[in-house]
Every structure is written in C-alpha cells, then in structure tokens.
A and B are shown apart, each in its own frame.
Chain A
Amino acid sequence: MTTIRAKKAFPWHIIFFLGPGLLIYLTVSVYPLLDTLRLSLYNEEYNGDLTFTGLSNFSKLLFDVVWSDPFWNATWNNLKFFVVHMLIQNPIGLLLAVLLSSPKLRMRNSYRTLIFLPTMLSVVIIGFVWQLLLSPLWGITENFMWDIGLGNYFDAWLGKESSALFTLSLISVWQFVGLPMMLIYAALLSIPDELIDASVVDGSSAWQTFYNIKLPLIMPTIGMVSILTFVANFNAFELIYTVKGALAGPNFSTDIMGTLFYRTFFGFQLQEGSLTMGAAVATLMFLVILVGVALYLFLFQRRVQRFAL
C-alpha cells in the first residue's frame, strides 16, 4: 500500500521524518568517525598542514619504541582490566541474578534496586568515593581490615605500581555489577516455568536444572553482557582519569587505551599533543572494538540461535 503511495508523489513525508535526525547523526557521529580514520593516515606538520603518510602512524604506534611501549602497555593493561570484569563482575552478576530469581523471594525489588544503585552514579563520583575509602590517611578500610584480623595485609593499593590497576578494576566491577545482574535476571525470568517443572519432575537437582536448562537458555544474554563489557572496557577513561589523572600513574601502570588516546591527542608534560597520532590511536581502538563485535556476532549469535526460545 505504501509503495503505491510512494510511486504517486515524491515522498516528502519520509524526508520530513528521517531528515533532521539523520542529519545530526551523520554530521556528529558518522562523519567524525570516518574523518578520524582518514586523519590517521596523515601527518601534521609544524605549521598545521596535513600530509598523507599512509600507514606510517600505525607503524610508529606498533613498532617504534617511543610510541609502541606506551601503546602495548595500554593495550595489555586494558586487556587485564577486561579480564577482571569477565572473571569477577559477570560471575557475581550471574550469581546475584540467580539468587534474585529464586521463587517466592521476599524483598526482591529492594535488593534489585539497591544493588543497582552504584551503576547510576557517575564514574567520577565513584572514583573519588573509593579514593577516600582506600586512603591510608582516612583509614576506613585499614581499620576495617584490622577489625577482621587482616590488618597486616592493608596497603596503599591505589598508589602501588603492582596493585593500582587491579584495584581500579575492582572499583569498576563494584560499580557496574548491577548491569549483568539485571540483564541476566530478566533472561532467567523469561524461561517458561514448564521447562523448569519438567526438569524437576524428571528428578534433576537444582544445580542440574541450572546447568542443563537455564544456563543454555541465558547464553545469548551472557554473550550480550560480555560484548557490552568489552566495548565499555576498551572505551573506559573516566575512572583512571579521576583517580590517577591523565598520566595514569604510578609509572603508567594504570594506563589504558582511553587515557592513552587522551594524552596522545592533547599532549602532556613530556610530549606535545598530535591530532593525527590521536586519530591513529582512535582508529586502533575502533579496530579492537570491531574485532570484538565481529567475534561476538560470529560466535554467539550463530551458535546459540538454536537455543533461542
């Protein structure tokens, strides 16, 4: 019906509906991304002129020690940051979701709302809050650890090269655990009761029911949680910047791709900012995210489709 209509006259109404939104999206989102990819192939001269240099920015970033050391350091750190989220945040989220979905649980809504609360707050706020709590000056954490008999293990974790990154990862895990919890909880709720009942009638234990029935059914959601975690982690910046500043100290031990991108683009004490090198870092981040998303679509979307309800 609409096609007949469209043939009659030029579809002005489509332009009216689509135009303004698409214009803003193309100008402020699509074009800058493509332009960033383009700029990564140029070099900025001292007078501000751009000359085409092909892939030389990338070969600098990947192989020239001055650039590649920080780059691989940031990539490696970012990977650790991601692994901590995958191994701690998402399993805890899963556990909480399973507990929340137990039948006839009282205060379910209160738990849900309260555990999700930190996710709502700005990463900046959370960063400062934990900086205060972990501060040896204030001593809240230290006193608490003495109280439970672990006082000897307390340290200024955020200030040590060996522990700063892990501590920051845990802060981020603490803040965002509500997200996997909520999404997995929703997936668990959507499993038909008959399936569970059938499994119980067949004599499966709670663990067997979970492992054989529920887990395969929530796999698509776990896949989605993983890719969301991946994209968010490889795009993170605020927490490190708030707690450790743009230099991601001590000695760049908490540097991740987001902070490296910021420093490369805007410069810092040791190095002038560069438009084109910044674009090159952003392009590599883009490729990393693209690979992650492609892997997700390939592995998860295809394999788990047969489980989909």
Chain B
Amino acid sequence: MNFALPMKHNRGKALVTHAVLMTYTLIALFPIFVVIINSFKTRKAIFNDPLALPTAETFSLVGFEEVLLRSEFGLFFSNSLIVSVVSIFFVLLLGAMMAWALTEYSFKGNMLIGILVAMGIMIPIRLGTVSILELMSNLHLVNTLWALIFVYIAQGLPLAVYILSEFIKQVPKELKEAARCDGVSEIKIFFTIILPLIRPAMATVAVFTMIPIWNDLWFPLILAPSDGNQTITLGVQQFIGQYVTDWNSVLASLTLAIVPVLILYMIFSRQLIRGLTSGAVK
C-alpha cells in the first residue's frame, strides 16, 4: 500500500480542522477581548481606534474610578458571593442526603418522589414566579438575600440529586454492610463513608449549580431588586441602564463583571469540562 498519499491527505485535513477551530475560537473570544482592552483606555482612544491595545498615552482607569465611586460594586459582588456559596452548600448537603435516601432505602413513595424531583430538571422553576413572589412576600423575605437562596436551593436540587445518585449507586455494597455489621448508625454511615467518597462528583455539581445562580437576572429582578440587595448581574444591568452614554463606565463595569468569572473559569474549567464530557449530565 502506498502510505504517502493518505499522509498528505491527513495533513491537509488537519490544516483545515485547525483553521476552522481557530477561526471559531477567535469569533468566540474577540468580543470579550475588545471590551476588556477598551475599558483601560481614554474616551477618545475608545472611539479613535477601538482595536488598539492601550498604550502609555491612551491608558486610563477613569471608567473603573467612576464605577467604584458611583455604584456599590463591592457590595453587589459580595451579595452574589453570599447567595452562591450558601445556596451551593445547601444544594450539595441536602441533595446528597436526598440522593442517598432515594437510592439506598426502599420505602413507600420512593419512586414517586424520585419522579417528582426528576421533573424539576426539565421544568424551569421560573414558571412558578407568580406564586413564588406571593410566598416570599408572605414570609417577609422580599428584598432579602434569603428569598434568592431558597429559590436557588430548590432550583439546584433536582440536578444535584440526579448526578449524586449516579455516584452513590457505585459505592460498593461491602463498605456499607461492613459498617452496618459493626453497628454504625445510618446517619454516621452517610456522613463518614458516603460523603467523602462522592466528593469529586460534588465538585462537578457545585460548578453546575454556581453558573446559573451567578448569572441569573430574573429572580434578583423580581425578588430582591433594591435596598443594596442586588446581585452583581442585576447591579451591572441597573448601572449600565443608568449610565448608558458613559462609555468608560459601561466598559469598566462589564470588565469588572467578566474578569472574576474568567479567573474562576480558568481554575475550574477542567472540573466543568470533565463533568460535561464524562456523561454525568445526561
């Protein structure tokens, strides 16, 4: 057989593959790149040459100064952080407990509860907004971070239960039975044996829970729109709506919202992509 021809053919193919992928990577990154570089430039430079990197002459932090002066960016950021961290903590803990109960014990209603929880993966919690607002106002939680935290726990639980169940099923029977023979209580078995074993899966669930919470506009807009309870996404939306003509501030606030996510993504992208591609979410 003649191998020279297919080799040449393959090299051509590889070249085309790289060209397409590189082009698309550029398309994906370019808009974000343009916004970030221009947030560090003077107003004049933003308009004169939008594609140039900031130089010593055009460098300016005026946008950032304005944003930090005129809005409570730090507060919004910490609101988002509190809401995300508390919600994720409870989604992981309660989700793992539910997954364990549903996979380990057979009891009446097990199947029904399983289906009810699974439906939450497909049916968006938003559709219940009218009654959620009523509920939260009856509980006097409107305009508090707690309203958001409760909604996000309920929103995150179905997928968490589903993914964690898959992992709990893989825990070898012998481990549990050995502990039971030694008279260890069910609760202790869960917390000392099961929880540590499913930690890698919990990291995946944490990332999947975090993204929609951090990026959500709908519930902050409806449940906690003011009084310094805005999350970062809502805060940016309101700020830009107000200062829409101040290009320096707009670009700077976008950059401030993008950069933390970029940093987190760089750290956790492995985890996230492994979760997406390992078939954990199907």
Task: List the interface of chain A (C-beta within 8 A of B).
Answer: 1-3, 6, 11, 13-14, 16-18, 20-22, 24-25, 27-33, 35-36, 39, 92, 95-96, 99-100, 102, 105-107, 110-118, 120-125, 128-130, 132-133, 138-140, 143, 174, 177-178, 182-183, 185-186, 189-190, 224, 227, 231, 235, 237-238, 241-242, 258, 261, 265, 275, 278-279, 282-283, 285-286, 289-290, 293
Q: What are 9 contact pairs spanning A and B, CB under 8 A? A: A22-B113, A24-B90, A92-B24, A122-B261, A125-B254, A128-B254, A129-B32, A182-B273, A190-B279
Q: Are B130 and A265 in contact (CB under 8 A)?
A: yes
Q: Are B31 and A186 in contact (CB under 8 A)?
A: no
B54 at the interface (CB under 8 A from A): no
Dominant SS among interface residues on chain A: helix
Query: A residues within 8 A CB of B186?
Result: 13
* Cα–Cα, bound, A39→B128 (Å): 11
Report how many residues on chain B are interfacial, defined by Cβ distance under 8 Å.
Answer: 88
Dominant SS among interface residues on chain B: helix
Q: A231-B122, A282-B127, A285-B127 are in contact. Are A32 and B135 (CB under 8 A)?
A: yes
* Cα–Cα, bound, A288→B279 (Å): 28
* Cα–Cα, bound, A11→B130 (Å): 36
**Within residues 213 to 264 of chain B, which ones have a CB less than 8 A from any CB in chain A?**
214-215, 217-218, 233, 236-237, 240, 247, 250-251, 254, 257-258, 261-262
* Cα–Cα, bound, A258→B217 (Å): 12
Q: A122-B214, A235-B124 are in contact. Are A21 and B279 (CB under 8 A)?
A: no
* Cα–Cα, bound, A188→B21 (Å): 17
**Within residues 132 to 187 of chain B, which ones have a CB less than 8 A from any CB in chain A?**
132, 134-135, 150-151, 153-155, 157-158, 161, 177, 185-187
B82 at the interface (CB under 8 A from A): no
> In the complex, which of the residues B135, B233, B247, B273 contacts A112, with contact meaning CB atoms closer than 8 Å?
B273
Q: Are A124 and B190 in contact (CB under 8 A)?
A: no
Q: A231-B124, A265-B129 are in contact. List 5 more A-B contacts (CB 8 A).
A: A6-B107, A17-B97, A113-B269, A130-B31, A143-B50
Which residue of chain A has the shortest Cβ distance to B135 in the bound complex? A32
Q: Are B154 and A16 in contact (CB under 8 A)?
A: no
Most chain B Cβ neighbours within 10 Å, of A92, A110, A224, A282: A282
Q: Are A289 and B29 in contact (CB under 8 A)?
A: no
Q: Are A17 and B190 in contact (CB under 8 A)?
A: yes
B85 at the interface (CB under 8 A from A): no
**Within residues 20 to 35 of chain B, which ones have a CB less than 8 A from any CB in chain A?**
20-22, 24-25, 27-29, 31-32, 34-35
CB distance from B46 to the nearest CB of A (A): 8
> In the complex, which of the residues A36, A92, A120, A139 contacts B261, with contact meaning CB atoms closer than 8 Å?
A120
* Cα–Cα, bound, A39→B185 (Å): 45
B105 at the interface (CB under 8 A from A): yes
* Cα–Cα, bound, A114→B153 (Å): 30
CB distance from B189 to the nearest CB of A (A): 9
Query: B residues within 8 A CB of A242?
Result: 217, 237
Q: Are B217 and A186 in contact (CB under 8 A)?
A: no
* Cα–Cα, bound, A123→B186 (Å): 43
